[in-house]
Structure 1
Amino acid sequence: MSIDLSAAVSTFVSESKELLQDMEDGLLELETSLIDEQKSEVINSIFRAIHTIKGSAGIFGFTRIVDLTHLVETTLDEIRLGTITLDNRLISALLSSRDVIETLVVLSAQESEVDSHTKNKAKDLAAIFNDYLDDPHSHAMPSEIQPTTQAPHNSANNTLWHIFFIPNENVYRNGLDPFAFINFLSQEVIDLHVNTYTKTLNTTDMFDPESNYLSFHLCFASNKSESEIADIFDFIKTEAIIKVLPPKAHFPDLKAACYEFGDVADILNMLRNTNSIDDPVLKAIADNKDYIQDPEPTQSTAGSSPITHTKLHQSKTLRVEALKLDRLIDQVGEMVITGARTNLLAHETGNETLIEAMALLERLVENIRDSSLKLRMVQIGETFNKFKRVVRDISQELGKEVELTIEGADTELDKTFVEKVSDPLMHIIRNAIDHGIEPPHVRLANNKSVPGHLKLKAYHDSGSIVIEISDDGCGLDKAKILKRATEKGLISAEQSLPDKEINLLIFAPGFTTAENITNISGRGVGMDVVKRNIESLRGSVEVESEPGVGSTILIRLPLTLSIIDGFMFSVHNDNYVIPLDTVVECLELHEVVAEQDIQDKSYINLRTEVLPFIRLRALFGIEERIAHTRESLVIVQFGTLRAGLVVDSLKGEFQTVVKPLGRLFEGLKCISGATILGSGDVAIILDVSALIKSAIAVYETLEFKQ
């Protein structure tokens, strides 16, 4: 019978990537000024991550991964014991090994051949690690420093480890083989004894060849820590009950493990035969009584509680395929549309009881919508943390010193944004280090600190997610930007632009101020990609810069792409929707200003504030006017910009399921999507950012002419 391991391998890949990211974060922390206790803790966590990957790879027979991780694990173990001094060269080698291991994980999962570059890189890393392991000068263990664990004395009672390993019935169906874990354990410990127990079957008809009926008791000696032993079973912990009992484990833990196993009599006889547990202890377990242990000094592991890995109690997160989540959101969206339709029909009947029931159902649908959308929300901190490595590597390549600061890491945004915003952030950060932050000698000459400062910040503002990337570098050279833009024909030599528009020229296709092409920048393609990707997410980009002080790039994104709270109005009997979060207030136009005062103007004086506005009827090319309509002014805001929209009538709040427009409508200005109303009609979703910019552009043009 062949077992399909594809699901298990897929899980191995995703978990390995998470562990490798933890390893990278830990290594970058070690380069900072941590105290010795913190460094020891970080090194231990890196060691556990590599140890887990090695064990899981061994189960699947991925020998290349096992070979490299074993060498990394040995090096980290020597660092833990103090026999190898951790320096910058070794940290760089460990970071490079993290990249190679990730490549090997992906290639092994795909059953692809390892390319020559990866093989050579692995050989080079092996040489570096062996150089540290073989170098007598790197082994500087003082006489007072001794390993923290010692090999147990097998002749004494209570010095053996015990593991109660009870795989669940479906473990084979889920692509996992318990014997592979036991086999790997045998390579890591001393003198392993395996006792196998079979679940009692009443009749042969109950036997299923794909089900598991075996439980195991494992007994062995080892000088490893309890966490290292438990990590061997980390990959199967959700598919089994696992109790790890170190030497001289507490009586309640041992008793609970025996009774959880099932056949207590068999377990006690086996424990008696191994001569690893005292008779009074075994008698107390058999009689189901308490046993008071004499106080005595024990190893640090003996006093710890057993590690119980059960699917019910241990798992705090549930891994779900992104496609399943997207389907759920789509179905919730359809439910919102159907609910709106049903609510409309209920009001047409005039049945008060039905209307009240529909109002309750509508609230429940809204709660389900909000809960479903929260499932897609992830913290941006994980994305931000990935750039620590980028900043380190680029700054070292350019011979610069750069310190990265992260703020608002707990800010949540849609997972779709997290996936698509990573590349734009990468381009911006690379440009900030290359073009913005000066070399150390230039910074000293300008009375700046030698290390440059780069800050990533995320926060909520006016119904949007704002991501700021700021640096304290030299700022944008506006004269140079204008000269290069003129040379490329982007603007004419006589054209005069405000500072904001000059700054945005850096996003033009093919635009660059670099004199030479490097591995990092100079081809003029990166910032163009930034703007395209952000605008594809219905977002916007702003640039602020001050010469000699630094630059800040602000990326604004909507909270979600799927379902939003909308505000609906009509223009010439057609319905339009904008995000509710962008609406500041609504006013009757005739109450704000007289009709004759705004015939040829593009702005009004609203409470001493100049407010640009745009008539949507004129924007859409509608000349006919419906009689007896009282126009309304909807004041909207996006970021720091504010404008007014003149509409025919207001319809109010509306739960909006965003539907993408077809390819025929791609590139239409001021339109971002569509939605289906309860009546079955289609309403256009307007792009508030584009509308505000259009209103401001019209206002500035008219003012210039005047």
Structure 2
Amino acid sequence: MTMPDPVEVFRTEAAELLEQIEQGLLDLEHQLDDASLIDAVFRGLHTLKGSGAMFGFDALASFTHHCETAFDRVRKGMAPATPELVHAVLAARDHMRSLVEQPDQEDDETGQRLLTQLQQAVADGGGAPEETAESAPEANSGAPAEAETVSAAPAAEPVTWRIRMTLPENAMANGTNPLALLDELRDLGDCEISVDTGNVPPLYRIEPSELHLSWNVRLTTDKPRDDIEDVFIFVMDDMELSIEQEEPGGAPAQATPAEPQSADPEPIAAAEPAAVAEPAPQASAQSPAQAPAEASAPAVNAPVQETRQKRAAENVRVPAERLDELMDRVGELVIAKSRLSQIAGNSIDVQLRSVSEDVERLASELRDTMMVLRMVPVATLFGRFRRLIHDLGRETSKQIELVTEGEATEVDKTVIERLADPLVHLVRNSVDHGLELPGDRAAAGKGEAGRVTLSARQSGGEVIISIKDDGRGIDRDRVRAKAEASGLVSPGQQLTDQEVMQLIFAPGFSTANAITNLSGRGVGMDVVKKTVEALRGTIDIESTLGKGSEISLRIPLTLAIIDGLLVRVGSGRYVIPLSAVEECLELSSEDDVRSEGRSFISLRNSLVPFLRLRELLSTGTEPDPYQKIVVVSTGVERVGLVVDQIIGDHQTVIKSMSKLHNDVATFSGATILGDGSVALILDVGHLVAAGQQQEAQLRKAG
């Protein structure tokens, strides 16, 4: 089994830290006096700096140190939090991400510019940090020194502190370097450090990757207690830590093991690795000198620590490609299960049928479990747009409020990944074309701040993601005129309202008067349409001139395995996604003949158009005496599909079509049946659109 690359592990964790920092900054922009948000951003920067230095990302650690220093000043009340500071650190955060991805980049011009912007932001808020890029601490020592700040206040009198630290057994396996923590303590002042080996097990029980040592530190410093706690800021939740101020004339805190050590407990330097190499015999009793240090730890620490370790064990980081591979194996199992079910159905062997039923049940449960593993909340997608809205507001001089709804709605991770770019285009389009400038909104009787709402909800086997704005809406006459000028439609050509709306997704179409950084090239909405169609989804548009627009993407919950309805048309078998099926009706030969030329059925006082798949697929066969109509819908619109036989439900493993069939819009994929034959999966969205178009033509002709 190959071990994960530590550098790649750090990059993954750094990406999470950078995301947390960005979200914290965006929250802070609206609550500049929130101390908890300031502390959260500081902790994220502090952790990123220390971890970066530990893994050899020296440029990242050095650059991050300056942002940490700025927030340290804010945290200690030496400078206020301002929008300019938030914007400067957001820009710096982007550079940190670049340093994570390319740690050896030599061009530091961007970094110097960002540091100048950061210093100016702090200066405008009440005083700049006195350090510059040249005076940043060296990051080669495993963990950079704690951020130093310069204050005009007189130096405080030195105080002696007694510190006892015990890290969890898995600390080093998780990347924590205890010597780096001791180095940071030593940098705060004069300290004496002793190691306690009383909990080291016998040699035959020692695991090299586990930590069984504790340290006692006597630190004399003029720094406040907060600076000592900051040393442990990103490991404090998982360790035993005691910090006590020594009374004047008090005895120094020393670590005395439970049993006499083979070596004298001389104070050791934090950077001496040899001091922790020799374990002592296992403890059998507690010496009086050790009691005060241990008494300062909370009595409930042991069960709390056990709970934390248990909670940590409940979450496992798994690479996405392994989930994809597992999904492929589950898909093959589902196909094999279908084959077994078909063989068992044709057999009189009772035991074979029993085994087949067990395998079918287990395969279904495994499929459902796998589906849950692949599902992620859309909050992971929506969270990215807070930064985009922040940047767009500054770029367009518009006041924008972002509202998110239904963030707990879960979608397949592949869908989330592929929807990211289309949603970026839609949000940018709403801001640029939809929302007005504050003055224009005020003149129209609206609030100066425009609102963009991202929402998600589940409907059957689909998730509906909507982007709504309260802007100027879509001018249909302008869209029509632009389309005619571009040659997309002929002058006088009859178009429905939805057809006019769909023109904005045509390649090269744009209503912008000039090309800007946001729009004007006519490629963004075309990308949206192609991506959504590739996901077997559809796009709905609603807009009211002067009030705003809403674009809804209807996307399948998963792209891997679906429940389908297996039908026969002629001699071929096809699959209809079960989530789109509303009901099934019988169509006799008399009704079939009677409906020739109009293709409508009356369904509970409403007319529903239907398509004869036998004609659409050109089977060249005669219809069965009693055909069936499968009524399908995409949420609003409905259409009936005439088939010869409904075979039954079928767990469908979706296989993509070949490149030669990319332009065949009737099918969205294929699947393998139990007998090894191939069945094509019908694209319900395309068929519904075709049915509605047929209905419009018939109504127009009538």
- Structure 1 and Structure 2 fold alike (TM over 0.5): yes
Do residues 594 (structure 1) and 591 (structure 2) align?
yes
Equivalent residue in structure 2 for 1:128, among 101, 120, 130: 120
Structure 1 residue identity aligned to 2:230: E
Q: Give the distance between the partners of 1:614 and 1:225, measured in 2 at CA.
A: 74
1:648 aligned partner, one-letter code: D
Matches within 5 A, 1:358-369: 358-369=356-367
Selected match of 1:119 from 79, 91, 111: 111
Once residues 97 and 432 of structure 2 are traced to their aligned partners in structure 1, the CA distance between those partners, rounded to angstroms, is: 27
| Structure 1 residues 303 and 130, CA gap change in structure 2 (3 angstroms) | farther
**Residue 619 and residue 294 in structure 1: after superposition, are their counterparts in 2 closer, same or farther (change >3 A)?**
closer
Aligned length: 649
Change (3 A) 1:213 1:695: closer
| Correspondent of 1:555 among 537, 553, 556 | 553
Distance 2:301 2:40 in 1: 19
1:7·1:175 contact (CA, 8 Å) conserved in 2?
A: no
Change beyond 3 A, Cα 1:681–1:474: same
Distance in 2 (CA, whole Å) between partners of 1:31 and 1:169 is 35
Counterpart selection for 1:603 from 600, 604, 611: 600
Mean CA deviation greater in 673-682 or 552-561: 673-682
Residue 681 of structure 1, aligned match among 677, 681, 684: 677
- CA deviation map 1:486-530 (0-9, x unaligned): 111100011121111111111111111111111111111111111
Q: 1:193 to 1:272 in 2, by over 3 A?
A: closer
Q: Does 1:153 align with 2:159?
A: yes
Q: Closer, same or farther in 2 for the Cα pair 1:692/1:214, shift >3 Å?
A: closer
Aligned with 1:418: secondary structure? helix
Single out whichever of 54-63 and 528-537 deviates more from structure 2.
Answer: 54-63
Q: TM-score, normalization: structure 1?
A: 0.83
- 1:97 corresponds to which residue? 92
Structure 1 residue 489 and structure 2 residue 481: aligned? no
1:691 correspondence with 2:687: yes
Q: Find the aligned partners of 2:229 and 2:348 in 1 and give their Cα distance.
A: 67
Q: Which amino acid aligns with 2:671?
A: T
Aligned counterpart, 1:62: 57
Cα distance change, pair 522–48 in 1 and its aligned pair in 2 (3 A):
same
Distance 1:673 1:435 in 2: 36
Structure 2 partner of 1:280: none
| Correspondences of 1:403-552 after superposition (within 5 Å) | 403-552=401-550
Q: Structure 1 residue 580: deviation in Å?
A: 0.8
Contact kept? 2:184, 2:231, Cα under 8 Å: no
Structure 2 residue 66 is matched with structure 1 residue 71: yes
- Following superposition, the deviation at residue 183 of structure 1 comes to 4.6
CA distance in 2, matches of 1:19, 1:586: 52
Question: CA offset at residue 615 of structure 1?
Answer: 0.5
Task: Name stretches of at least 5 consecutive residues in structure 1 with no aligned partner.
Answer: 139-144, 250-257, 275-282
**CA 224–481 in structure 1, closer or farther in 2 if over 3 Å, else same:** same
Cα deviation, 1:104-130, whole Å, max 9, x if unaligned, reads: 11112xxx3244553343343453366
In the other structure, the counterpart of 2:78 is 83
Whole-Å separation in 2 of the counterparts to 1:473 and 1:618:
45
Q: Distance in 2 between matches of 1:581 and 1:535?
A: 17
Contact 1:199 1:213 in 2 (8 A): no
Instruction: Rate the CA distance shift 1:293–1:650 in 2: closer, same or farther, 3 A.
Output: same
- 1:624-651 CA distances to partner (integer Å, 9 max, x unpaired)? 215x542000000112111100000001
Aligned residue in 2 for 1:566: 564
Look up the SS of the partner of 2:30 in the other structure: coil
Further displaced range: 74-83 or 409-418 = 74-83
Please give the TM-score of this superposition, normalised by the length of structure 2: 0.84
Deviation for aligned residue 1:192 = 5.8
Contact 2:538 2:553 in 1 (8 A): yes
Amino acid at match of 1:286: Q
Q: SS in structure 2 opposite 1:92?
A: helix
**What amino acid does structure 1 have at the position aligned with 2:80?**
T
> Could you say if the C-alpha distance between residues 475 and 365 of structure 1 is closer, same or farther in structure 2, counting changes exceeding 3 Å?
same
Matches within 5 A, 1:634-645: 634-645=630-641
Instruction: Percent identity, please.
Output: 34
Maintained 8 Å contact 2:632/2:639: yes
Taking a change above 3 Å as real, the CA distance of residues 72 and 484 of structure 1, as seen in their structure-2 partners, is same
> Is structure 2 residue 387 aligned with structure 1 residue 381?
no
Q: Give the letter for the 2:333 counterpart.
A: M
Matching residue's letter, 1:99 = D
Q: State the alpha-carbon separation in 2 of the partners of residues 44 and 151 from structure 1.
A: 26
Letter paired with 2:443: A
Q: Pick the aligned partner of 1:658 from 632, 654, 664.
A: 654
SS in 1 for 2:429: helix
Alpha-carbon distance in structure 2 between the residues aligned to 1:267 and 1:598? 98
Check 1:64–1:614 CA distance in 2 against 1; reply closer, same or farther (3 A cut): same
Give yes or no for contact 1:340–1:677 (8 Å, CA) kept in 2: yes
- Output aligned runs, 1:318-329, within 5 Å: 318-329=316-327
Name the CA distance, whole Å, in 1 between partners of 2:411 and 2:188. Answer: 43
Give the corresponding residue for 1:286. 286
Pick closer, same or farther for the CA change 1:86–1:465 going to 2, 3 Å. same
How far the C-alpha of 1:623 sits from its partner, in A, is 2.7
Letter of the 2:243 partner, please give it: P
In structure 2, how many angstroms separate the alpha carbons of the residues matched to 1:169 and 1:430? 44
Check whether the contact 1:107–1:114 (CA below 8 A) recurs between aligned residues. no
TM-aligned CA deviation for residue 560 of structure 1: 0.3
The match for 1:247 is 244
Q: Amino acid of the residue matched to residue 73 of structure 2?
A: E
- The aligned residue for residue 230 of structure 2 is 228
Counterpart contact for 1:284–1:291, Cα < 8 Å: no
Mapped to 1, the partners of 2:573 and 2:381 lie a distance apart of 38
Distance 1:184 1:656, change over 3 A: farther
Q: Could you say which residue in structure 1 is the equivalent of 2:164?
A: 162
Pairwise CA distance, 1:293? 12
8 Å contact 2:575–2:679 — kept in the other structure? Answer: yes
CA 567–93 in structure 1, closer or farther in 2 if over 3 Å, else same: same
The amino acid across from 1:122 in the alignment is L
Matched, 1:193 2:218: no
1:266-305 to 2 correspondence within 5 Å?
Answer: 286=286
Structure 1 counterpart SS, 2:601: strand
CA positional deviation for 1:313: 4.4
* Aligned residue in 2 for 1:252: none
- 1:631 match: secondary structure: strand
Distance 1:40 1:366 in 2: 50
Distance 2:516 2:371 in 1: 42
Q: CA RMSD in A?
A: 3.8
Give unpaired runs (5+ residues) of structure 2. 131-150, 247-254, 269-282
The reply on whether 1:43 has 2:38 as its aligned counterpart is yes
